[in-house]
Amino acid sequence: MAASGVSSSSTEEEENLPESALCTMASPLKSLFHDDSRYQKAFQLFLERSTEHQCMQDFIHSKLPDVLASVGDGKSRLNVIGVGSGAGKIDLEMLSELHQKHPGVAVDYEVVEPSSQQLHKYKVSVSQTPALDYIKFTWNEMTASGFEEHCKREKITKKADFIHMIEMLYYEGDPGATVSFFQSLLEKKGKLLIILASEESGWGRLWRTYKDQLCDSEISQCVTTGEIKSYLDSRGVRYQWYELPSEMEITECFTEGDEKGELLLDFLTEVQNFSKAASPELRAGVLKLLRHPDCSVESEGKVIFNNNLGVIVLDQLT
């Protein structure tokens, strides 16, 4: 996960936060994005503590088949691009649904993923998954913007029938431009699927309040589906929209020195060793906000963070 381009102006509830917590820090914090080893540990813990993959799987098996029904338009071979595919768990479930909708159709699959660790896990999963002979995988260890540069440099003009961008626009310098580029790659009946933190989630509230302190200026980090929808609306681009309920337990974040709690805090703030690196005022303000009803609910001694996701589906630009 990462972060939003929403204004950080005060709301009524924010007025109850320490004033010093809303001020820009004197010294910049280091983004967790630049420490891949710690990021992967934090991300794995996030997956264990959240219903992130479960809510995506529910969408993939209930709604995605209808989205995929019209792609390809009877072609015998489909071109698919997975952008920010991670270890491939969700990719393979989407490919399974695509195969069920279009049995007997071959797939050329471009995997775009900057993490060598995640790509290795993906390749292992592919080797252990039966009946994938209909797919030809091409592995690209690069970011979305790196893939865009590669396509332009090599003058690659191949269009795609299905492109998915799941939880990855946080790491792009210009998310709107990235969306526009990949939408430009769609075939006539193609679909572009985007999944991000919902603007109604705890992430949205956290980023609206602390964008200036927590977000790396070189990447977007703080972006929700709200910003993407605003970008599309401003250009008159039509889209389908879904909200996916999700949650994450963050109880250990409030036990100082707890190893897992510190990792979760790093993931929530996208800051390396947040508790040590942040000022006491910023740390206190973030912890207070994470417990705020706009971010979390407390039940049976547990703090449950609102991890809702949003899904945007785009067609080829006309």
Longest C-alpha distance within the chain, in Å?
61
pLDDT over 90 at 101, yes or no: yes
Q: Apex CA 188: angle with CA 185 and CA 189, to 5°?
A: 105
Residue 241 burial (CB count, 10 A): 13
The larger pLDDT score, comparing residue 27 to residue 81, is at 81
pLDDT for residue 29 is more than 90:
no
Say what the pLDDT of residue 222 is: 81
Indicate the burial class of 38 (C-beta count within 10 angstroms; 0-12, 13-18, 19 or more).
middle
Whether residue 217 has pLDDT greater than 80: no
Give the C-alpha separation, 114 to 281, whole Å. 34
Residue 25: DSSP 8-state:
P
Highest mean pLDDT among 6-15, 66-75, 180-189 belongs to 180-189
157 against 2, higher pLDDT: 157
Residue 69 in tokens = 């029904």
Query: Mean pLDDT across the chain, nearest whole number?
Result: 89
Per the model's pLDDT, the better-predicted residue between 204 and 19 turns out to be 204
Give the pLDDT of residue 30. 86
Question: Residue 219's pLDDT is what?
Answer: 56
Query: What does the alpha-carbon distance between residue 307 and residue 245 come to, in Å, rounded to a whole number?
Result: 7
Could you read off the pLDDT of 226-240 as tens digits, one per residue?
A: 999 999 999 999 999
Question: Are 106 and 187 contacting, i.e. CB atoms less than 8 angstroms apart?
Answer: no
pLDDT greater than 60 at residue 34: yes
Which tens digit of pLDDT belongs to each residue from 263-278? 999 999 989 999 999 9
Closest CA to 107 of 81, 131, 83, 136: 136
Instruction: Measure the CA–CA gap between 60 and 69, rounded to whole angstroms.
Output: 13
pLDDT higher than 80, residue 13: no
**In what order do the strands lie in the sheet containing 186-197?**
135-140, 106-112, 77-83, 160-166, 186-197, 309-315, 240-244
The reported pLDDT for the residue numbered 220 is: 52
pLDDT given for residue 116 in this prediction: 93
